[in-house]
């Protein structure tokens, strides 16, 4: 409960943040279903993931409109302004994460009911899915608690996911001459890539935590200067 | 703030557009306040103020009622001299000269450092005579018609009044009267314009015109404004000073103190002091 003056505004801002961060729970649920659909070759579950993306898009539009209203009516400044700016980024990332879940889901019908699957690739995708789901939850916790160390730790998690993504790529390259098996493996590369991007989006949310807390935007991972990245 | 190393910093994405205190350093300072304390009847109203007010920029004083904003701005052109119990300690240096030095003529100070008040206060005279009053008293040389036109143009009022210069100034709207007061101030060719809540009695359109005018005027003048409207401070000022009220030891007397003084963008996006943060976000009044 906000105290002092402008109580309604403070409560509205807190409610807005809660609704925005709850959107990440929706992403986690979508990701879990998408991975299960890959593991079970379940096209119906995949269709559900595609249909459910409307819920995420609706949340994005709802928060976006609320932010516009708050900007227009309350003229937020200082930490409030940084929070609102960060929430816009969080929502954009959430919406992109939802789209990546849809990308995974749309690939499932392409591989058929009984594809010539490679167990190592399937195992890596399951592991990636579980780890990225944890990353999404961690990004939410870090934002809600304004916890910089937890936000920074997302990079370490993301490194593991990146390694799994590369591993899948290498297994796929050497999967053999069978056409169907190669086609399946190529599709799994796309699945892995989509999951890996969700991990990147989680790191982006972590960077917004740093912006809200410090007022400085810092890239945790600098692709142009990888040597400077901290372990 | 934290000392955790967060990795690479993207300079271009820092809050603000790169405006810093150094941006104004090249312009020099209109005022340098050194340990300024203003007292009424021996009781300090604002205490120990140190700040540099840059040339050709707009500096805003913000803070809750009673924090000494008006007291502080009034000591910049010795308006507090008119209050017998007022006393100013410390130094108010204007272009390096102490304006409270006994050798300094307060009339000359107020000529160079003009002031516009909360409520428009035109003289009960014609528009023309309002503007011509100061130049006549000071015996300024030159064609008076030209002086009046130049001042009214400077006050963004010329087009609205050029056909009725000899009408009574009280026939103007509140916003026009305030711009007339600014023009009257400009007529004596000042260097600094002090504005004590110049828009608090005006509607939003008139306020917008005064703000536009301020932004034009800062190309040639240094402006200091006291405002209760934080959005106004955010919109127009380059530098913002935040003052608070503190109760002194016996909790009977209120004293104003400077909490934070920085580039306006910094004050409104990432203030350093939590008291500034609470005030600008409206968490405290």
Q: Is residue B76 part of a domain?
A: yes
DSSP state of B104: S
Q: Is residue B38 part of a domain?
A: yes
Per-residue pLDDT, averaged over A11-24, amounts to 96
Output phi, psi for B248, to 5 deg: -80, -175
Sign of CA pseudo-dihedral B107, B111, B113, B116: positive
Which residue of chain B is at minimal alpha-carbon distance from A83? B269
Q: Which of A151-155, B12-16, B132-136, B193-197 has the lowest mean pLDDT?
A: B12-16
Note the pLDDT of residue A218.
83
Output phi, psi for A135, to 5 deg: -60, -45
Instruction: Answer for the pair A125, A195: CB distance below 8 angstroms, yes or no.
Output: yes
Residue B16 scores a pLDDT above 70: no
Question: Is A214 touching B (CB cutoff 8 A)?
Answer: yes
Residue of B37, B27, B121, B43 whose CA lies nearest to B72 = B37
Q: Confidence class of residue B201 from pLDDT cuts 50, 70 and 90?
A: confident
Instruction: Answer for the pair A129, A35: CB distance below 8 angstroms, yes or no.
Output: yes
Note the pLDDT of residue B253.
79
Out of B7, B15, B285, whose CB is closest to A230? Answer: B7
Q: Which of B18-22, B168-172, B193-197 has the lowest mean pLDDT?
A: B18-22
Per-residue pLDDT, averaged over A116-134, amounts to 95
Per-residue pLDDT, averaged over A73-102, amounts to 96
In the CATH scheme, what architecture does the domain A8-220 have?
A: Up-down Bundle (1.20)
Per-residue pLDDT, averaged over A79-93, amounts to 97
Out of B8, B230, B276, whose CB is closest to A228? Answer: B8
Total tally of structural domains belonging to chain B: 1
List all residues of chain A from 143 to 162 with a beta carbon under 8 Å from chain B.
Answer: 148-149, 152, 155
Q: Confidence class of residue B67 from pLDDT cuts 50, 70 and 90?
A: very high
Question: Is A140 touching B (CB cutoff 8 A)?
Answer: no
Residue B9 scores a pLDDT above 90: no
Per-residue pLDDT, averaged over B12-33, amounts to 72
Q: Verify whether the Cβ–Cβ distance A77 to B14 is below 8 Å.
A: no
pLDDT tens digit sequence for B88-132: 999 999 999 999 999 999 989 999 999 999 999 999 999 999 999
Note the pLDDT of residue B17.
55
Q: Confidence class of residue A115 from pLDDT cuts 50, 70 and 90?
A: confident
CATH of the domain at B273: 3.40.50.300
Residue B73 scores a pLDDT above 60: yes
Note the pLDDT of residue B282.
87
List all residues of chain A from 19 to 78 with a beta carbon under 8 Å from chain B.
Answer: 75-78
Question: Is B4 touching A (CB cutoff 8 A)?
Answer: yes
Q: Confidence class of residue B14 from pLDDT cuts 50, 70 and 90?
A: very low
- Note down the domain range covering B242: 24-112+191-280
Per-residue pLDDT, averaged over A135-154, amounts to 97
Q: Confidence class of residue B247 from pLDDT cuts 50, 70 and 90?
A: confident
Q: What percentage of chain B has pLDDT greater than the value 70?
A: 92
Note the pLDDT of residue A223.
66
Write down the mean pLDDT value for chain B.
90
Instruction: Answer for the pair A48, A32: CB distance below 8 angstroms, yes or no.
Output: no
Residue A107 scores a pLDDT above 80: yes
Instruction: Answer for the pair B90, B48: CB distance below 8 angstroms, yes or no.
Output: yes
Per-residue pLDDT, averaged over A39-49, amounts to 95
CA gap A117, A186 in Å, rounded = 11
Q: Verify whether the Cβ–Cβ distance B6 to A213 is below 8 Å.
A: no
Write down the mean pLDDT value for chain A.
92
Q: Give the E-state strand segments of chain B in sequence order.
A: 8-9, 29-40, 43-54, 58-62, 86-94, 97-98, 113-116, 192-196, 222-226, 239-247, 254-263
pLDDT tens digit sequence for A193-226: 999 999 999 999 999 999 999 999 888 877 666 5
Q: Is residue B149 part of a domain?
A: no
Note the pLDDT of residue A228.
52
List all residues of chain B from 222 to 251 with a beta carbon under 8 Å from chain A.
Answer: 230-231, 234
Q: Is residue B1 part of a domain?
A: no
Q: What is the pTM of this model?
A: 0.81
Residue A28 scores a pLDDT above 80: yes
Residue B12 scores a pLDDT above 50: no
Q: Is residue B219 part of a domain?
A: yes
Q: Is residue B130 part of a domain?
A: no
Q: Confidence class of residue B8 from pLDDT cuts 50, 70 and 90?
A: very low
């Amino acid at each position: 409960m906000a105290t002092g003056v402008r109580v309604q505004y403070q409560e509205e801002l807190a409610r807005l943040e809660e609704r925005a961060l709850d959107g990440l729970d929706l992403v986690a649920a979508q990701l879990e279903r998408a991975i299960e659909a890959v593991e079970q070759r379940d096209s119906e579950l995949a269709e559900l993931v595609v249909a459910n993306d409307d819920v995420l898009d609706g949340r994005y539009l709802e928060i976006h409109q609320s932010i516009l209203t708050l900007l227009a009516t309350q003229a937020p400044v200082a930490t409030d302004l940084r929070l609102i700016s960060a929430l816009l980024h969080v929502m954009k990332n959430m919406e992109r994460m939802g789209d990546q879940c849809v990308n995974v889901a749309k690939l499932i019908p392409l591989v058929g009911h009984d594809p010539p699957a490679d167990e190592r690739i399937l195992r890596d995708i399951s592991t990636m899915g579980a780890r990225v789901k944890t990353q999404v939850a961690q990004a939410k916790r870090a934002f809600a608690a304004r916890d910089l160390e937890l936000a920074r730790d997302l990079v370490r998690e993301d490194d593991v996911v990146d390694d799994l993504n590369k591993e899948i790529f290498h297994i796929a390259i050497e999967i053999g001459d069978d056409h169907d098996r190669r086609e399946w493996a190529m599709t799994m590369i796309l699945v892995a890539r989509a999951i890996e991007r969700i991990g990147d989006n989680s790191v982006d949310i972590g960077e917004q935590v740093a912006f809200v807390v410090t007022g400085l935007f810092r890239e945790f991972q600098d692709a142009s200067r990888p040597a400077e990245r901290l372990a | 703030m934290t000392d955790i190393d967060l990795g690479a910093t993207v300079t271009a994405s820092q809050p603000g557009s790169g405006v810093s205190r150094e941006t104004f350093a090249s312009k020099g300072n209109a005022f340098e306040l050194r340990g300024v304390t203003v007292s009424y009847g021996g009781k300090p109203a604002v205490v120990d103020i140190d700040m540099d007010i840059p040339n050709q920029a707009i500096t805003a004083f913000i803070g809750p009622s009673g924090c000494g904003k008006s007291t502080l701005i009034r000591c910049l052109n010795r308006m507090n001299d008119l209050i017998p119990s007022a006393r100013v300690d410390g130094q108010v240096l204007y272009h390096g000269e102490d304006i409270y030095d006994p050798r300094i003529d307060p009339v000359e100070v107020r000529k160079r450092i003009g002031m516009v008040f909360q409520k428009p206060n035109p003289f009960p005279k014609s528009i023309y005579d309002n503007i011509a009053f100061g130049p006549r008293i000071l015996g300024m040389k030159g064609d008076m018609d030209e002086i009046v036109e130049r001042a009214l143009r400077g006050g963004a009022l010329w087009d609205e009044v050029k056909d009725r210069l000899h009408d009574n100034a009280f026939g103007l709207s509140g916003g026009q009267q305030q711009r007339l007061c600014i023009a009257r101030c400009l007529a004596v060719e000042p260097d600094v314009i002090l504005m004590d809540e110049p828009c608090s009695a005006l509607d939003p359109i008139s306020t917008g015109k005064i703000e536009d005018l301020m932004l034009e005027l800062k190309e040639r003048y240094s402006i200091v404004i006291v405002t209760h409207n934080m959005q106004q401070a955010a919109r127009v000022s380059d530098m913002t000073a935040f003052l608070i009220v503190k109760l002194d030891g016996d909790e009977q007397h209120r004293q104003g103190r400077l909490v934070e003084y920085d580039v306006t963008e910094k004050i409104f996006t990432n203030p350093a002091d939590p008291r500034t943060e609470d005030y600008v976000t409206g968490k405290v009044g």
